[in-house]
């Protein structure tokens, strides 16, 4: 069943165009209207993109990734961050505001450096 969702906000660039119409079929985006090429590509998964659906972990960066459950992955991540002397939390720009708010709380807890893409 195809349905059209109107007035969708495009999560690609800082313009945040809010007039996008997204055509959804069986929980998949099959098309957009009004979006630019870049925005369209973000909605419709482009060919060849590999999506992760499970947490992955590896000890050595030369090894292959192994699948793990969320609890282990979060535990291990937290351990790395806590054990570090000066961790860096970088990125945040393609994330929504609540996550960024929590991120600053995390940085304060860890005594970390927090920075976003405005720095590059």
Partner 1 sequence: MQDSGYPVATLAEATHRADLVIYWACNPIHAHPRHMTRYPVFPRGFFRERGRKDRTLIVVDPRKTDTAKIADIHLQIEQHKDYELISALRAALNGLTIEADKVAGIPTEVIYQVVDTCKSAQYGALFFGMGITMTRGKHRNIDNAIRLVIDLNRYTKFILTPMRGHYNVNGFNQVASWITGYSYAIDFSRGYPVYNPGETSTINLLKRGEVDAMLNIAADAGAHFPQKAIEHIAKIPLICIEPHKTPTTELANIILPPALAGIECDGIAYRMDGVPIELKKIIEPPEGVLPDREIIERLIKKVKEYL
Site for partner 1 in 21-60 (CB under 8 A): 22, 24, 27-29, 36-39, 42-43, 49-59
Residue 55 CB contacts under 8 Å (≥ 6 apart), including other chains: 67, 68, 69, 70, 72, 73
Residue 1 interacting with partner 1 (CB under 8 A): no
CA distances from 74 to 71, 77, 85 (A): 5, 5, 19
Instruction: Residue 15: count other Cβ atoms within 10 Å of its Cβ.
Output: 9
Name which of residues 78 to 97 contact partner 1 (CB under 8 A): 78-97
Interaction of residue 4 with partner 1, rule CB under 8 A: no
Size of the site for partner 1 (CB under 8 A): 86
Q: Going residue by residue from 99 to 118, which x/- string records binding to partner 1, judged by CB under 8 A? A: xxxxxxxxxxxxxxxxxxxx
């Amino acid at each position: 069943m195809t349905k059209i969702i109107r007035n969708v906000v495009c999560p690609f660039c800082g313009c945040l165009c809010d007039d996008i119409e997204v055509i959804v079929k069986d929980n998949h985006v099959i098309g957009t209207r009004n979006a630019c090429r870049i925005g369209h590509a973000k909605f419709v998964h482009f060919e060849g993109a590999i999506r992760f659906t499970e947490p992955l972990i590896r000890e050595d960066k030369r090894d292959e990734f192994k699948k793990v459950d969320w609890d282990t992955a979060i535990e291990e991540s937290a351990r790395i961050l806590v054990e570090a002397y000066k961790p860096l939390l970088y990125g945040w720009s393609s994330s929504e505001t609540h996550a960024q708010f929590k991120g600053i709380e995390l940085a304060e807890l860890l005594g970390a450096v927090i920075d976003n893409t405005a720095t590059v």
